[in-house]
Amino acid sequence: MQPIQMVDLRTQYHHIKDEVDKAVIDVLESSAFINGKPVTDFSEQLASYLGVRHVIPCANGTDALQIAMMALGLQPGDEVITPSFTYVATTEVVALLRLTPVFVEVEPDTFCMDPAKLEAAITPRTRAIVPVHLYGHAVNMEPVLDIARRHNLYVVEDTAQAIGGSYTFQDGTRKMLGTMGHIGCTSFFPSKNLGCYGDGGAMFTNDDELARKMRMIANHGQSVRYYHDMVGCNSRLDTLQAAILKIKLPKLDEYNEARIAAANRYDQLFAGHPKITTPYRAPYARHVFHQYTLKLEDVDRDGLVQHLASQGIPSMIYYPVPVHRQKMFESFGGAAFELPVTDWLTERVVSLPMHTELTEEQQAFIAGQVLDFINSH
């Protein structure tokens, strides 16, 4: 059996090595390292895959969120609603732009923003909502979009963990995650479902004006070369990374299918255990399993993580401290938010190895070790 990794990028690379190596050498030979043709090619390819008018590439997923919020023209003190049960980047950019983060509760089954709790978090200063499609599962977008429309709020989707996932509306319309709000943001960090071999990110929108603004902001606020209309930043997707992503994007559906198949196998291995809840999949969501995350009841979680490590099995707690309890947000009154579901989940979740190369043999071993520990403690 191959050693078990949380994410196995090396084996995945070996399956596409010839294509990738050639594409990398082509970029080296062209020496168009910045804004080379693969960058535009990949952006167009991704726009067509997602069914969205504009894809604006940038340097990473955190920049994507920041540029999105800058393009919306939000002013210091404006309130932005985000979940606390997320990766810190979602909320960090809100604070960085001197906007005010307002934390909202998540649903205990989907781990995603709870639309039923959203309206109570809205004040006259609220300007935007940031739903995060966590672990690859869709936020229940239809009620979120309804509320946003009624209150005249922007919606910025954080799709860093869910590219290729989708959401189905009541009327049967299916949309790709990241294409339903005003702007969608994603990350191509290597371990994400569509990962490059370094940092990368992108914004998506159907709005021509927002697209124009985001392109400008990502390029020093420049409209014409050396004419700068607004304060921006420097955030680009490298040509090398775009060339790699061009090869990986056509395989994204296949990669996500491999994750879903692995999740199905885990589900069977853990089925019916009284102390283990396997991931929920809402009927509206195509879950693309960025993470496979169990909820444990009455289990010594630290003991389990240690036991697995002793057997050569990595596991992770995403995330050990919810964002509203991070020191970073002390001065924003983070801890004053009462988010019992978020706190409850933080104490119970554990994520198991999940990637495109996971074998049945590895999964049987992982599940066997999890069950051994839980059944004997």
Structure token digits, residue 123: 């004040």
CB closer to ligand PLP out of 139 and 313:
139
Query: Three-state SS for 176?
Result: strand
CB of 61 to ligand PLP, least distance (A): 2
Using CA atoms, how far residue 229 sits from 56, 221, 233, in Å, is 19, 6, 12
List Cβ neighbours of 336 (8 Å cut-off, separation of 6 or more). none
Nearest to 200, CA basis, from 58, 68, 66: 58
> Nearest 10 degrees: CA dihedral of 230, 51, 46, 163?
100
* Residue 356 binds ligand PLP (CB under 6 A): no
* Residue 111 binds ligand PLP (CB under 6 A): no
CB closer to ligand PLP out of 239 and 241:
241
CB closer to ligand PLP out of 90 and 346:
90
The residue count for binding ligand PLP (CB under 6 A) is 15
* Residue 345 binds ligand PLP (CB under 6 A): no
141-170 positions binding ligand PLP, by CB under 6 A: 158, 160-161
Query: Three-state SS for 372?
Result: helix
Cα distance between residue 106 and residue 83, in whole Å: 7
* Residue 187 binds ligand PLP (CB under 6 A): yes
CB closer to ligand PLP out of 202 and 308:
202
Using CA atoms, how far residue 227 sits from 34, 57, 130, 251, in Å, is 19, 21, 32, 40
CB 290 within 8 A of CB 192: yes
Q: Which string of b and e fits 308-319 if b means at least 16 CB within 10 Å?
A: beeeebbbbbbb
* Residue 60 binds ligand PLP (CB under 6 A): yes
* Residue 61 binds ligand PLP (CB under 6 A): yes
* Residue 193 binds ligand PLP (CB under 6 A): no
Query: Among residues 62, 205, 219, 342, which is the contact residue for ligand PLP, using CB under 6 A?
Result: 62
Only segment of 84-92, 114-122, 123-131, 309-317 that touches ligand PLP (CB under 6 A): 84-92
Query: Among residues 89, 276, 299, 339, which is the contact residue for ligand PLP, using CB under 6 A?
Result: 89
Cα distance between residue 248 and residue 19, in whole Å: 10
Task: Tell me the β-bridge partners of 295.
Answer: 277, 349
* Residue 332 binds ligand PLP (CB under 6 A): no
CB closer to ligand PLP out of 248 and 265:
248
Only segment of 87-95, 137-145, 306-314, 334-342 that touches ligand PLP (CB under 6 A): 87-95
CB closer to ligand PLP out of 244 and 269:
244
* Residue 140 binds ligand PLP (CB under 6 A): no
Cα distance between residue 376 and residue 14, in whole Å: 39
Query: Among residues 90, 110, 179, 363, which is the contact residue for ligand PLP, using CB under 6 A?
Result: 90
Q: Which residues bind ligand PLP (CB under 6 A)?
A: 60-62, 86-87, 89-90, 132, 158, 160-161, 187, 189, 199, 201
